[in-house]
Amino acid sequence: MPEQEYLPPSRPSPGRRMSPEYPLGSWQTASPPAPPYPMGPPDPGVPEWAGPDVDEEEPPPAAEPPRTQGGRARRLAARRRRRWYVIAGGLVGLAAGVTAVVLLTQGGSTPPSVTPNGLITTFQPGELQKVPGACGTVPSGTVRQYLPGKVTVASPLPVDGSAESACNWTIDRPPVYRVLELNMLAYSPSGLASGNGSATAAATDAYDAALRSTQHPPKDSPDPPAKVTLLPGLGNQAFSALEVFREGGAVTDVATVIVRYHNVIVTVIVNGLQHSNRGNYGPVSKSQLSAAALAFAEAAEARLL
């Protein structure tokens, strides 16, 4: 079996560290935070699955993830993922605690929608408390079009309950190596968010942080400069990015699309191995990777409408 190459990690969802059980695309931690605080009934105009949690079936067991890369590559990947998580996701992990403090100061069991200082503590019309299952958001025809061949599908366990869902599609058959990761996360109202602290404000902060870090990676980041393109007309905000990672003689192209729809962030990452150390993988069409990321993001965003 040919030696696998370094593949950079994905940016999606906040506040988590890499898990050895899902090295190529996971949103697990050893100690998951509590799900977002259910602050009010869903708006009647949003999809049925966007309402408060009910007794749900346990998610299907995750398929066996792809094999891991080298130790150095994993360390670089972990650093990159942790950096993204810290930038984009402190809002989600602390939102419930901050909101609880705000509500306790009101002295009632039923909190008002806005505190005296203007801080919003409940979901507003159009905001979603749940997201649909990520693996079911993309039509099978779209999967076959952009990931031809035998695809392994895995659904990493979410750490934010029904507010988050993720799915990984992988092909590992030389000369083709592809990893496509989709993550959807519904943000909650947060006293740490800018402006009025609404769920949409929290998601907007995360989107803006992702755009800044993609355009201008920190000096100590392993991320290369990305070619970023804004995507007007997709969600409320959206951008695509293309990066080229080089590690130990291997070259990996990474296409990213991030979409904000109200308080939900949709992130799609497509890794394509352009060149391997032993010449067993590649080449890769960058335009095809970008098209795949866009198609999966559009399919996921359509399910939120």
Structurally, the chain folds into a number of domains equal to 1
Instruction: Examine residue 165 and state whether it is found in any structural domain, yes or no.
Output: yes
pTM greater than 0.85: no
Instruction: Examine residue 43 and state whether it is found in any structural domain, yes or no.
Output: no
Average model confidence (pLDDT) across the chain: 74
Pick the more confident residue, 90 or 126: 126
Instruction: Examine residue 17 and state whether it is found in any structural domain, yes or no.
Output: no
pLDDT (average), residues 133-153: 95
Instruction: Examine residue 98 and state whether it is found in any structural domain, yes or no.
Output: yes
Residue 277, pLDDT score = 76
Evaluate if residue 6 carries a pLDDT over 80: no
The boundaries of the domain holding residue 93 are: 67-302
Instruction: Examine residue 74 and state whether it is found in any structural domain, yes or no.
Output: yes
Q: Which residue has the tokens 């998951």?
A: 32
Instruction: Examine residue 53 and state whether it is found in any structural domain, yes or no.
Output: no
Pick the more confident residue, 33 or 305: 305
- The residue type of 208 is D
**How many CA atoms within 13 Å lie on the side-chain side of 31?**
0
Evaluate if residue 99 carries a pLDDT over 50: no
Of 254, 260, 273, 160, nearest to 201 (Cα)?
Answer: 260
Give the Cα separation of 128 and 271 in Å (integer): 29
